[in-house]
Amino acid sequence: MTIATINPTNGELVKSFDPMSDAQVDAAIGRADAAFHELHGTSFAQRAGWMVAAADLLDAERDEVARMMTTEMGKTYASAKAEVTKCAAACRFYAERAEAFLADEPADAKAVGATRAFVRHQPLGPVLAVMPWNFPLWQVIRFAAPALMAGNVGLLKHASNVPQTALFLEELFRRAGFPEGAFQALLVGSEAVERILGDRRVRAATLTGSEGAGRAIARTAGEQLKKTVLELGGSDPFVVMPSADIARAAEVATTARCQNNGQSCIAAKRFIVHTDVYDAFAEAFVERMAALRVGDPMAEQTDVGPLATERGRKEVDEQVRDAVERGARVLCGGQRPDRNGWWYPPTVVTELTPEMRMWSEEVFGPVAGLYRVSSYEEAIEVANGTEYGLGSNAWTRDPAEQERFANDLDAGSVFVNGMTTSFPDLPFGGVRNSGYGRELSAYGIREFCNVKTVWVGEGTEAGAGAGAHAE
């Protein structure tokens, strides 16, 4: 894949970059290794100062950074600005909390025959971060802020269509004061990942991306016995039950499906509606979806811009056509416009059946699948009926039903009466084919740490105390 910025509104090449050679990559890994030893020796306070400086730079340069993201991948300028602000907040969150999240955890020394026993969290070293283009700043920051605060260093292999955002991120941490080499962008294609992960100086990897990329990285990392965190795709259910506020549910459903031009891993993708409220929900939802304004992502009034890539638009178009050819019904949208750029309109498709691709695959564009169910049990069966398990959404005002959804939805998160989103304070990640490991909160920062057991005895008795035995 070429490494280039291609404007998705018209398909024109804006800027291309030569991929780094193996020798340049090796030199970067060498700098990362050296930076790790330097960063490891710094205090939390020192790193927090640099992280807050990064947040200040993001706030100060918000509009410019947002414009760059909109140009590279087509998200609306308004949502790009919100993304920059969210990133600055996440940097501050980890600057403030990292030390407490990674503080020594005392254990019951007496129970293990020690005078002192505790758990210490220590960084692992250079971590490879393979990242997607959809939230080109946020996906990277939610890895980088905790990683750098823990004392790890980052090697970013960003998606090939957002090279300018990748280079901005490298510069951001350097300008904020982090040591040279603490966070570097490797301008390489996906074919270079296996070799990088094979380098013994690279200690772990995190990927946010598709299932296919997840399998490839997990395979290589498995051979190398390196830790991975995988944030993969999703086909989140959005279940609407009879007690729900239907107008509110339809409003949130529209945003949940079309945010980021429909290209969010945790976008609601399958709308599973109880038959008692199906007609009312469908009418309100279709009306709202059809009213969204598609157009120039820089324009203030635009709700939905183009898809990020030609390949992505082709995939969405083929998924909808496949459903229609097999008997599904389009309630709005569904036609690829005949104009330059990677446009696709907000679309609602119903009467889906298991043999259609849309039933089981993730649709990465503003296309909603609408399903009618006649009971709670059937809603759960359809909701859990894909191989994914990232986020999930349930709409009900019945407290007992809320509790059941919290238990029964097989996903990394359950949001009741609100849109699935991410917060620095809460863990984020999936189960099944949506990946493993967690980002954000205390869970996220500990993923790339050695959870080290420290046992200290008096040194006057043989062995490790009463009851000890060798493994």
Residues within the interface to ligand NAP (CB under 6 A) = 1, 130-134, 139, 157-160, 189-190, 193, 208-210, 213, 216-217, 231-234, 265, 362, 364, 390, 430, 435
- The two tokens of residue 153 are 């260093």
Alpha-carbon distances, residue 271 vs 6, 238, 368 (angstroms): 33, 5, 7
Closest to ligand NAP by CB, 76 or 396? 76
Closest to ligand NAP by CB, 350 or 434? 434
Given the residues 72, 211, 231, 362, the one annotated as active site: 231
> Is 265 among the residues known to form the active site?
yes
Closest to ligand NAP by CB, 210 or 255? 210
Nearest residue to 326 (alpha-carbon basis) of 366, 286, 365, 354: 354
Shortest approach of ligand NAP to residue 199 CB, angstroms? Answer: 15
Helix, strand or coil, per DSSP, at residue 15:
strand
Shortest approach of ligand NAP to residue 134 CB, angstroms? Answer: 5
Under 8 Å between Cβ of 241 and 398 = yes
Shortest approach of ligand NAP to residue 178 CB, angstroms? Answer: 22
SS (H, E, C) 8-28: CCCCEEEEEECCCCHHHHHHH
Strand bridging mode 268-274 / 236-240: parallel
> Is 211 among the residues known to form the active site?
no
Tell me 393's DSSP state. E
Closest to ligand NAP by CB, 117 or 187? 187
Nearest residue to 131 (alpha-carbon basis) of 152, 153, 161: 161
Which H or E run includes 464?
Answer: none
Q: Which residues of 123-138 are buried (b: 16+ CB within 10 A; e: fewer)?
A: bbbbbbbbbbbbbbbb
Q: CA 186, CA 34: separation in Å to the nearest integer?
A: 17
Q: CA 170, CA 180: separation in Å to the nearest integer?
A: 10
Q: Which residues of 460-469 are buried (b: 16+ CB within 10 A; e: fewer)?
A: eeeeebeeee
Closest to ligand NAP by CB, 243 or 384? 384
Alpha-carbon distances, residue 398 vs 243, 275, 282 (angstroms): 7, 17, 21
Shortest approach of ligand NAP to residue 1 CB, angstroms? Answer: 5
Helix, strand or coil, per DSSP, at residue 276:
helix
Shortest approach of ligand NAP to residue 153 CB, angstroms? Answer: 19
Closest to ligand NAP by CB, 179 or 391? 391
The count of C-alpha atoms lying within 13 angstroms of the C-alpha of 28, restricted to the half-sphere facing its C-beta, is: 21
Nearest residue to 432 (alpha-carbon basis) of 382, 466, 385: 385
Q: Which residues partner with 128 through β-bridges?
A: 155, 205
Shortest approach of ligand NAP to residue 430 CB, angstroms? Answer: 6
Shortest approach of ligand NAP to residue 263 CB, angstroms? Answer: 7
Closest to ligand NAP by CB, 148 or 316? 316
Q: CA 236, CA 257: separation in Å to the nearest integer?
A: 10
Tell me 470's DSSP state. -
Amino acid letter, residue 23:
A
Closest to ligand NAP by CB, 245 or 410? 410
Closest to ligand NAP by CB, 139 or 396? 139
Alpha-carbon distances, residue 391 vs 82, 258, 411, 444 (angstroms): 21, 16, 6, 17
Shortest approach of ligand NAP to residue 226 CB, angstroms? Answer: 14
Given the residues 265, 332, 439, 447, the one annotated as active site: 265
By CB atoms closer than 10 A (0-12, 13-18, 19+), residue 455 is middle
Strand bridging mode 347-350 / 393-395: unpaired
Quick one: how many helices (H) and strands (E) in the chain?
A: 15, 18
Shortest approach of ligand NAP to residue 74 CB, angstroms? Answer: 13
Active site residues: 231, 265
